[in-house]
Amino acid sequence: MVVPWSSAIGFSIITILAAPTSAAEFACPPSIAVRKTFAVPEGWKRIAGDATAQLHGANLYLGVPENRARLKPDNAETDDVGMVWEALGNGYWLTCDYHGSGYELAQPVPGTPEACREVVDGGAWTGEVRCE
């Protein structure tokens, strides 16, 4: 049986569009040990400075986080628990933000997810983000 070009091309396009997206799950560490250093002015002595910073939230960036292209969650204007970022694609990075530390941990989001969602259990964020 001979398949006309138009039918074969149409089938290929449908197959590509229907290809599954990859799913990824991220578990932000609940806390990180931080040690801040700074220049001590003459006549002063540094006392303590080691601390533990608690997980504060997650952020999604278009491209590497150093470029500061942070995305606003699609449900940011609601009272919903758990941020949602929709209509994504590829080239995104997820970060875990630690309260008061100025530090974030970052990982690239693999594949081309359609959305990333903070995982919520019992009305609270679990520290996990699922992208699919």
Question: What value does the mean pLDDT take over residues 58-71?
Answer: 93
pLDDT in tens, 71-114: 999 988 887 778 899 888 889 999 999 998 889 999 999 989 99
Inform me whether the pLDDT recorded for 48 exceeds 60. Answer: yes
Question: What value does the mean pLDDT take over residues 112-119?
Answer: 91
Residue 68 makes CB contacts below 8 A (sequence gap 6+) with 61
Residue 113 makes CB contacts below 8 A (sequence gap 6+) with 21, 22, 23, 24, 88, 92, 131, 132
Inform me whether the pLDDT recorded for 19 exceeds 50. Answer: no
